[in-house]
């Protein structure tokens, strides 16, 4: 009853921001993402009678309790599998956690696949995405590789809210995303808390929802046509709209720091100079730059000259979650 899985982070091109239900987790709107080869989490799960309680260790730090309720997610899988054993979970990520880089997406996708396998469940990827969604919404997209859409669904039980691949990584192999790290520490307001605050207090949230379907249609079509300008410009504006709802909550949620703005202006200057670059941001200060492979070297050169950039991670469309033979313990 032991298994190990790995999953890549995913970065949304059309954002998920806001829940219509917290139990089960259901989104206010659909979303589209790219699964990112370059930012991954590996997790080993073992169920055994020798464990008195669930234990979770992430990057050598033990988690007794956390906002996303990892222990509760393990309990959910145990109930589904009909087992009573407790689990030992050890997880490692190769990029900063809780800094707006989708660590919970890769983390919960790897955890779900490893735990379900260790518990003896044989599930389709669609079924895995539904279970993963109940731990962390955006994590359901990391079950799949390439370009992925999380369907909003209509049913209250969440049975029609799941992720699906809309284009494989082979469809657009030269699409790139450069994650610029300006701050690796944990962000002051979690995505989960920020979403709840936005839905409750932002006077413009209804306007965000009224524009998302058009963004989904544009990006979905742009991916199929491999129209970079259409996809990237829509993604940039979608991210700005999302952050506008955060800024206009009570109290305001402002993730940006000076280095964030430095990168945004640098990307805008790149476009003025004829370089096809756009940006997107999740809930955090770190900016992701969207580009094609041919422009990567020039963009990285310019970005690494900026004072506020600590590091960059180059990502291309990656694989979905997968099982590994080698365990972490």
What is the per-residue pLDDT for 67?
63
d(CA 215, CA 48): 46
pLDDT over 80 (residue 328): yes
What is the per-residue pLDDT for 183?
82
What is the per-residue pLDDT for 316?
97
Mean of the per-residue pLDDT values of the chain: 95
Rounded mean pLDDT of 258-268? Answer: 97
Residue spans of alpha helices (H) in 100-144? 103-118, 125-133
Helix (H) or strand (E) holding 175: strand 175-181
Among 93-107, 271-285, 297-311, the range scoring the smallest mean pLDDT is: 93-107
What is the per-residue pLDDT for 101?
59
Chain centroid, CA 245 distance in Å: 19
Share of the chain above pLDDT 90, in %: 90
pLDDT over 80 (residue 185): no
Interval 216-244: pLDDT, tens:
999 999 999 999 999 999 999 999 999 99
Rounded mean pLDDT of 183-192? Answer: 82
Residue 166 tokens, joined: 């809309």
What is the per-residue pLDDT for 66?
67
Domains along the sequence of the chain with CATH: 2-169 (3.30.230.10), 175-317 (3.30.70.890)
pLDDT over 90 (residue 279): yes
Among 65-69, 200-204, 258-262, 320-324, the range scoring the smallest mean pLDDT is: 65-69
303 phi and psi angles, rounded to 5 deg: -65, -40
């Amino acid at each position: 009853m032991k298994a190990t899985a790995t999953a890549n982070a995913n970065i949304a091109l059309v954002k998920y921001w806001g829940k219509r239900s917290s139990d089960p987790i259901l989104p206010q709107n659909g979303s589209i993402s790219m699964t990112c080869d370059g930012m991954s989490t590996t997790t080993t799960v073992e169920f055994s009678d020798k464990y008195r309680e669930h234990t979770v260790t992430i990057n050598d730090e033990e988690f007794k309790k956390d906002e996303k309720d990892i222990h509760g997610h393990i309990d959910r899988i145990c109930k589904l599998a009909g087992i009573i054993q407790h689990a030992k979970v050890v997880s490692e990520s190769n990029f900063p956690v809780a800094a707006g880089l989708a660590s919970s997406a890769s983390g919960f996708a790897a955890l779900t696949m490893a735990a379900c396998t260790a518990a003896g469940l044989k599930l389709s990827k669609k079924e895995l995405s539904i279970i993963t969604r109940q731990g962390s919404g955006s994590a359901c997209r990391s079950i799949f590789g390439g370009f992925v859409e999380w369907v909003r669904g209509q049913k209250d039980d969440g049975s029609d809210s799941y992720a699906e691949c809309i284009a494989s990584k082979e469809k657009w192999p030269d699409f790139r995303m450069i994650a610029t790290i300006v701050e690796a520490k944990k962000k002051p307001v979690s995505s989960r808390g920020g979403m709840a605050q936005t839905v409750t207090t932002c006077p413009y949230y209804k306007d965000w929802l009224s524009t998302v379907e058009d963004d989904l249609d544009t990006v979905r079509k742009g991916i199929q046509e491999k129209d970079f300008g259409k996809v990237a410009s829509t993604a940039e504006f979608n991210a700005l709209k999302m952050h506008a709802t955060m800024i206009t909550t009570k109290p305001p949620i402002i993730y940006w720091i000076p280095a964030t703005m430095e990168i945004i202006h640098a990307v805008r200057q790149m476009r003025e100079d004829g370089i096809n670059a756009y940006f997107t941001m999740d809930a955090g200060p770190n900016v992701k730059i969207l580009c094609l492979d041919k422009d990567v070297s020039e963009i990285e050169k310019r970005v690494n000259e900026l004072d506020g950039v600590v590091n960059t991670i180059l990502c291309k469309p990656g694989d979905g979650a997968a099982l590994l033979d080698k365990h972490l313990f």
